[in-house]
Amino acid sequence: VKLRQWGYGPHDVPMLFELFDEDKDGELNLAEFVTMMDEIRIGLVPKRVVQLFEALDTDGGGTIDDREFIRCVFPEEFDAIYPDMMEIDSTPLVEEES
């Protein structure tokens, strides 16, 4: 992961998202994400930044939050950073019939 090469880890992501979330809605749109990736200087070309954003925006809503980013980029650290999400993530979306 290029982020690690440049000294960024999963614990830095919430702070970075907050810093670059210009409209303070808790999510980054494409323009905010492009600005963040440019400012942290990890060396991705603009086309690759857009592709990354589109891959992270799994619901197609045009925004991503720090949890989506960490879940995809640092999946092994997700539960440690967001322990409150463990219960939510382990709950089945459809209840089984008895």
pLDDT tens digit sequence for 45-64? 999 999 999 999 988 999 99
pLDDT-derived band at 8, boundaries 50, 70, 90: confident
Kindly calculate the radius of gyration of the chain based on its CA atoms and give it in whole angstroms: 15
pLDDT reported for residue 3: 77
Angle between helices 66-73 and 13-20 (to 10 degrees): 140
pLDDT-derived band at 82, boundaries 50, 70, 90: confident
Looking at per-residue confidence, does 94 or 3 come out higher? 3
pTM of whole model > 0.85?
no
CA dihedral defined by 79, 85, 88, 93, rounded to 10 degrees?
A: -70
pLDDT reported for residue 97: 52
Tokens of 94: 């459809």
Inform me whether the pLDDT recorded for 33 exceeds 50.
yes
Amino acid at the residue 90 = S
Strand, helix or coil for residue 67: helix
pLDDT-derived band at 1, boundaries 50, 70, 90: low
Residues 15, 66: Cα–Cα separation, whole Å? 9
